[in-house]
Amino acid sequence: MMVSQGSATTRALILGGTSDANRLADATARAGIDAVYSYAGRTQSPVGQSLPIRTGGFGGVTGLIAFIRAEQITHVIDATHPFAAEMSRHAVAACAALKIPLIALERAPWTRVEGDRWIEVDNIDTAVAALPETPARVFLAIGRQHLAPFAAKPQHGYTLRFVDPPDGKLPLPDPDIIVSRGPFTLEGDLELMRTRNIAWVVARNSGGAGARAKIDAARALGLPVVMIARPALPERRRVESVEEVLAWLGHDARLGA
């Protein structure tokens, strides 16, 4: 079904690339809501969607504004990764300029619980500084965009986990690369850390269940975790569930597809 608010028909833009965004895309399609799903294009084999897909950057705020106008978008849902700060800031600016509504589907961050040995830092540079000088095996669970600063401590053995195989030389010396797509399990990450003799974990506070296994595994093994805080973003409306987004779009999730 098409969803209308007054005399206007809703056409949504989902800024995606996360498991939450994928669930939202499925629910939106089942509800019959007209929508477009946008991938940043960093993953070689993205998950297929039941919505029309566009891939790649928009070209900054100006390009995003042009796309929204050309596609007659009425609502924007930012369901990007919590650390995709530039895209989130561009969405806020574009929607403000066009005076169209924006909502963020954003999972809650992880919080420290008993047994966690977190060293909480503000950014990548302070995460590098938090690692010891003595050589250690480090599980660097931060994606491929932010590896270069860790070359400042080449004495460590770094284990990396990517969705796709790297397409070029990485900036770290002889890294141990795992190619695997989540969600991951506690048992699997316990085995990973034990067999590779991991002594430190570096992670971004992404939140959610799909990437949490490494945090639970580190707690179970008593390992220190350098936890990178989320970037500061402009004020915007934020929810944590697909149902809340559907309600915001004018669809009662209780009615089903």
Q: 207-233, pLDDT tens digit by residue?
A: 988 789 999 999 999 999 999 999 999
pLDDT given for residue 169 in this prediction? 87
pLDDT(255) > 50: no
The domain tally of the chain equals: 2
Domain-located, residue 112: no
**125 and 62 belong to one structural domain:** no
**What is the Cα–Cα distance from 8 to 54, expressed in whole angstroms?**
24
Residue 248 is assigned to a structural domain of this protein: yes
Domain-located, residue 243? yes
Residues 198 and 126 in one domain: yes
Q: Are residues 219 and 123 in the same domain?
A: yes
222 and 126 housed in the same domain = yes
The model's pLDDT over 136-182, given as tens digits with 9 standing for 90+, comes to 999 999 988 889 999 999 999 999 998 888 888 899 989 999 998 87
Cα–Cα nearest to 89, from 233, 207, 227:
233
**134 and 178 share one domain:** yes
Give domain status of residue 195, yes or no.
yes
- Complete edge-to-edge strand list for the sheet that includes strand 11-15: 53-55, 34-39, 11-15, 75-78, 102-105, 238-239
CB 36 within 8 A of CB 13: yes
The number of beta carbons lying within 10 Å of the beta carbon of residue 123 is: 12
State the amino acid at position 26 in one-letter form. D
One domain for residues 39 and 76: yes
- Considering the domain architecture, whether residues 75 and 160 belong to the same structural domain is answered as no
CATH number at residue 222: 3.40.50.720
CA distances to 53, 58, 68, 99 from 94, in Å: 20, 11, 9, 8
Does the residue 251 lie in any domain? yes
Judge if 239 and 223 occupy the same domain: no
On the question of a cis peptide bond just before residue 183, with omega within 30 degrees of 0, the verdict is yes
Least confident of 48-62, 76-90, 94-108, 228-242: 48-62
Based on the domain organization, do 99 and 189 belong to the same domain?
no
Query: 45 and 125 share a domain?
Result: no
Q: Which domain holds residue 216?
A: 117-228
Domain check: are 31 and 87 in the same one? yes
Q: Does residue 126 lie within any of the structural domains?
A: yes
Considering the chain, what percentage of its residues have pLDDT values greater than 90?
76
Domain-located, residue 171: yes
